[in-house]
Amino acid sequence: MIQPATPLNEKERLSSLNSIELLKGVSEEEFDNITQLASYICKTPISLITLVETEKNWYKSNHGGPSIAESERRLSHCAHAILEPDDLMEVEDLREDLRFKDNPFTSNPESPILYYAGMPLLDNNGFALGTLCVLDTKINKLNEDQKSALKALAKQVEKLFELRRKNLYLEKIKQELDDHNSLLKDFAGVVSHDMKMPLANMIITADLIKARYKDHVDEKGQEHLSNLKKSALKLSDYINGILNHYESDRIASSDLVEFDFHHLLEDIIDLMNINDKCEINFPSDNMMLNCNRSALEQIFINLINNSIKYNNKEKIVIDIESFKDENFYHFTVKDNGIGIPEDQLSNIFQLFKTLYITDRQGNQGNGIGLSTVKKLVNSLGGKISVQSVLGESTCFDFSIKKSLSL
């Protein structure tokens, strides 16, 4: 018996093998299907996907072989096969080959392995990580079609390896993004909370100065104080929007509850203190919902608030419709407001993307509210879309997935 030599690129080869992070001792159907097919095509009782490590071989898939998970590399047929990474190694009678003549697998009196054919499994850099091999307890020989099929199956194993490598990379990137977003979320929360009190003091102070020193501050000074208050209020609104956006993750994870849809809308109207210059028409058919009430409430507050703010009509009219199907609740919020230019419709759900339109007070939006709405809708398993006629109306259609318990 001749022990296998060590490849010249052994360090790089092992590094590549370890980077795939294949699970030892865990059967995976996609690999087992390939070894089963290899045995069927090659008419051999045994087929293995073997990975060659420093001291051991281990079997990612073992079809028909001994019930062992690994073997010593020095006794390995596959450790010889990877020395010629581009070629299929076939030994018709292992007893006649000096490399395997006295190998314990060959001389096993109960079930000797007498035949071996193995195709090296390569990574994208050409490093041989192991083999797809077929074995027999009798002398054998593959025909050309069987050899071609074994090579093709080995390519499929290589693709599975590369797919796993890419998935691991994507998982790593996703984790890094999640960690980064978590830090940004914490930073935004801390900064926003720390800024709210100073801004409130600025607003109050501006009002106090205007009231208490009105006889000592000229018209231009009064205008400056009004602008200061207006800027502070705008910044406060912006901060609240950021907090609501990040708070939407917590809201979206709230428990599912059963509730009356009309009651939800009535609570929202009371909360927003909507006056009689705004007419909100409920769906003609009420329905009971079983979903995340807090998230749905936040969605409607944002949409109704936008319908009121971006409206130049003397009488604001908001029509709300709803229906349900087997899997989703569907909602529509339509207003008679100023509408949205067609070339800006594709941008309205982007975070911090502001439109070139102003509300009833002449203020421009901060690009947070509708982004938060879409984030909440998506987290509830639904979709949202918008249609608008400039100067006439805007209509939001969205869905949320029903509770599985229904």
Higher pLDDT, 76 or 272: 76
Q: Which two tokens stand for residue 353?
A: 């993307």
Q: How many residues would you count in the chain?
A: 406
209-213, 241-245, 356-360, range with greatest mean pLDDT:
209-213
Give mean pLDDT, residues 294-323. 89
Instruction: Tell me the per-residue pLDDT of 284-304, one tens digit each, with 9 for 90 and over.
Output: 999 999 888 888 888 998 899
Residue type, 84: E
DSSP string, 304-324: HHHHHHT--SSSEEEEEEEEE
330: β partners: 323, 399
* Residue-range domain boundaries for the chain: 10-168, 253-406
Instruction: Tell me the per-residue pLDDT of 119-174, one tens digit each, with 9 for 90 and over.
Output: 999 999 999 999 999 999 999 999 999 999 999 999 999 999 999 989 888 888 88
| Third-level CATH fold of 253-406 | Heat Shock Protein 90 (3.30.565)
327 in helix, strand or coil?
Answer: coil
By percentage, how much of the chain surpasses pLDDT 90? 45
CATH class of this structure's domain 10-168: alpha beta
Asked if domains 10-168 and 253-406 share a fold, the reply is no
Q: Which residues contact 357 (CB under 8 A, 6 or more apart)?
A: 310, 338, 340, 341, 364, 365
